[in-house]
Each structure stands twice: as structure tokens, then as C-alpha cells.
Structure 1
Amino acid sequence: MTRVAALRTALSPGLASWIAACALAEGIGMTASAAASRAAAQLGDNLPAALAIIVLGGLVEGSALGLLQGDWLGRRFAGMSRLAWFAVTVVIAGLGWAGASLPGLGASSDGGEPPIALVLLGALALGAAMGALLGVAQALVLRRVARHAWRWVGISALAWAPAMAVIFGGAMLPDASWTTPAVILLGTATGVVAGAVLGAISGWLMPSVDRRH
């Protein structure tokens, strides 16, 4: 019966809408991040302006994620502060993603690209670390309305690890020959896939957090 109940939960409209919210949020976010990355690359040695653009792209990503996730969770967990969820997600996810993008600003392609396996392994580790940090901040918001809010830390880490690997894998595909619209379109597609992965894993495990009655 436990497996049947888990399957019903996995196939429920609630899970589907959560996956859709995460996919839409990351689609918006990675579109903004791809556009910001391409714009920053055109600025050459003007690092302050490039940094500002990268941070702006990260804030768009965090804002979309915080807004859409917070709206969904606010309907499931009565009394949860959507504003608090939005705020911590913007700060941790948005600025965290911007920070992860910064090393590429001054990078040179003269040394060749690192092996894709190494990049993906690093992305898994980065996703797990950022997911856990984000999970802690979000669990502080959930703890007033969820019985086992701290389980969200592990759920977030587990879900963000493969999602980040998808994002980094997509980011490695384009080179200087790609047009800006193509890069942005790839960013959108990558974000949708990464968000769907994020939503599927976190949504499947979300019932373990349990609402506080």
C-alpha cells in the first residue's frame, strides 16, 4: 500500500503543478542568465559592468523561483509566508547562481575546456551544497507550518544536485560561433529541463515534510 500511495502522490495534479512551476521558474531564470552571460562577455575588460549584469541575471532566476514556488507552497501550507520564501530564495538561489557564474568572467579559452565529466561532477557537488544552504533558509520559513521542515534541507540538496548538472551541461554546449538568440534559446530549454528535474525530485519527496495540523 505504501508504494501505491507513493505512486498516487507522484502522479497527482499537485505534483504536476509543482513540477510545472519549477520548470517555468528555471526556464525564465536560465533565459535571463544566458542573456546576461552573453551580454557580459561582450563587455571585455569592463568587469564591474559585467558583474552587475551577471548579478542581475541571477536575481531574475531567484525571483522567478521564489515567486512561483512560494505561490504553490502558500496554497499547500496554509499560513506560510510567501514573502519570506521569496526573500530567502532570491538571496540564496539568485546571488548564489550569480556567484557560481563569476569565475567565467575573466576566463580564457586558451587553456582548453576541462573534461565534461569533471565539470558535471563539480556541478553535482555545487548543486548539493547550494541546495543544502537554500534548504536551510527555506526550512526556517517552513518550520511554522510543517511538522518535519528540516527534512527539506536534504530534499533540496538531493534535487538541486542533478538540476545543477543539467544547467552546467547545457552551458558547455555553445561556443563563440553561436548567435545570441541561439544561446538564449538553449538557456531557456536547459532551464526548463533542469527545473523539471528539480521539481520532480523535490515534489516526490515533499510529502515527508508533512503539514502541521
Structure 2
Amino acid sequence: MERVWPVWMATVTAAEVTGFAVPATVGALTVAARPVVAVPALLAAGAVEGAVLGWGQSSVLRRILPDLPVRRWIAVTAAAAVLAYAIALLAPTFVTVWTAWPPGLLIPVAVLLGLALLNSIGVAQWTVLRHLAPRADRWIVYSALAWLAGLTVFMTFSTPLWHPGQAVGAVIAIGVAGGLLMAATMAAVTGVPVHRWSRPGVLESVGR
């Protein structure tokens, strides 16, 4: 079987950064808009990002998991991306509410929401993988670690470069550049279990 990891790395990186360009653009255009406008727009953009990412991932996974239901994979990935964006938007949308909470309430809620965000895509995709790949539950862990690492890289790169009053084009360019680094990081980490599944004999342990 051909080496899958390099193909996964290139395809998933390209798919994610392409999809992420949509919310990066929408976010820059709606930064001063009211939540009633900005939130639905960003959720819709998140759905596009998730769908493009799901398509890219499935195009590689079908090489080693021919029974993978592509449409379902894309659908659950898009839905999970919308959930992740919804969680991420809670903090800025309800800033006047949670800033008044005591630390004893704020910290555990923040941790739970953070875990939900990081695990949203992995859990959704696991529902598709669980009957197709051995130890599919590990996908949840790898996916969460991948997004944690990717988002950390994104914020470390992009946040210092964004400044009030910047042109929209500059804001978008910085976001997309950070998105490329995030996408490559995420693809590299999630490529580990994909590479394992591509090894001869590994999938024979699954009732297919």
C-alpha cells in the first residue's frame, strides 16, 4: 500500500486552510457587527470549513477505509465544526455575563467548554470510524491533541500581528497565514493514526 501520511498531510492541510479562509474572511468583515449578525455568519462559515475539511479527510481515508461513508463523514464534521464555533463564540458574545462570575464557577465552566470544543470534531468523526478502524476511540484523543496544538500555533502566530485599525485585507491575510500553520499542525498529529491504519494487516482485526 502507498505511503498515506504524506498524502494525508498535503491534502488535509490544503483542505483545512481553504475551509478556514471562509471564517477568517467573515470574521474580519463582521468584527464590528452586532452579535445577531456576526454569530450566524460565523456559524455558517464554520459549517463550510468543516465540510471542506471533511471532504479532504475522506478523500484520503477512502484509500484505506473503502467502506467509509463519505457524505456522513462530511456531514458530521461540518456539524461538529458549527458546535465548536458556537462554543468559541460564547465568551465574546456573553462577556458581560461571565466576567461577573466567581472564579469557583468560571474556571470549571471554562474547562468543560474547552474540552467540549477540542473534542467536538473527534467525537463526531469517531461515530463513523468506530466500526471501520481498530482502536477508533484513539481518534478522539489524537483529534483533540491536534486541535489543541493547532489552535495554540494559530494564536501564537496571529494574535501578536493583529492590531486595532488594521485594513481588512491585512486581518484576513494574517488569519489565513495562521490558519495554514494550524492546518499543518492538525494534519501532522491526526496523520499518526491514519498512518497506522494504512499498515498491512492492521485493518484485518476489524470485522469487515
Report if TM-score (shorter chain) is over 0.5.
yes
Residues 23 and 191, structure 1, Cα contact 8 Å, conserved in 2: no
Change (3 A) 1:143 1:107: closer
2:23 pairs with 1:36: no
**Match of 2:40?**
52
Residues 81 and 120, structure 2, Cα contact 8 Å, conserved in 1: no
| SS, match of residue 172 in structure 1 | helix
**Match of 1:205?**
193
Deviations 1:98-153 (A, max 9, x none): 43135335769xxxxxxxxxxxxx89x93x64343322221110122212211211
From 3, 6, 14, the counterpart of 1:24: 14
**More displaced, 18-27 or 190-199?**
18-27
Matched letter for residue 32 of structure 1: V
From 9, 15, 18, the counterpart of 2:5: 15
**TM-score (norm: length of structure 1):** 0.76
- For 2:119 and 2:196, locate their aligned partners in 1 and report how far apart those are by CA, in whole Å: 17
2:134 pairs with 1:147: yes
**Match of 1:196?**
184
Residues 30 and 190, structure 1, Cα contact 8 Å, conserved in 2: no
Residues 164 and 194, structure 1, Cα contact 8 Å, conserved in 2: yes
Change (3 A) 1:80 1:60: same
**Match of 2:120?**
133
2:171 pairs with 1:183: yes
Shift of 1:204: 2.2
Matched letter for residue 187 of structure 2: G
Structure 2: runs of 5 or more not aligned = 97-109
Residues 23 and 49, structure 2, Cα contact 8 Å, conserved in 1: yes
**TM-score (norm: length of structure 2):** 0.77
Residues 61 and 94, structure 1, Cα contact 8 Å, conserved in 2: no
Structure 1: runs of 5 or more not aligned = 1-8, 109-121
**Match of 2:70?**
82
- For 2:196 and 2:126, locate their aligned partners in 1 and report how far apart those are by CA, in whole Å: 13
Change (3 A) 1:98 1:170: farther
- For 1:54 and 1:102, locate their aligned partners in 2 and report how far apart those are by CA, in whole Å: 12
Shift of 1:49: 1.2
Matched letter for residue 138 of structure 1: Q
Residues 54 and 102, structure 1, Cα contact 8 Å, conserved in 2: no
Shift of 1:79: 0.6
- For 2:10 and 2:66, locate their aligned partners in 1 and report how far apart those are by CA, in whole Å: 21
2:154 pairs with 1:167: yes
| Equivalences, count | 187
Matched letter for residue 196 of structure 1: A
- For 1:106 and 1:138, locate their aligned partners in 2 and report how far apart those are by CA, in whole Å: 29
- For 1:147 and 1:132, locate their aligned partners in 2 and report how far apart those are by CA, in whole Å: 19
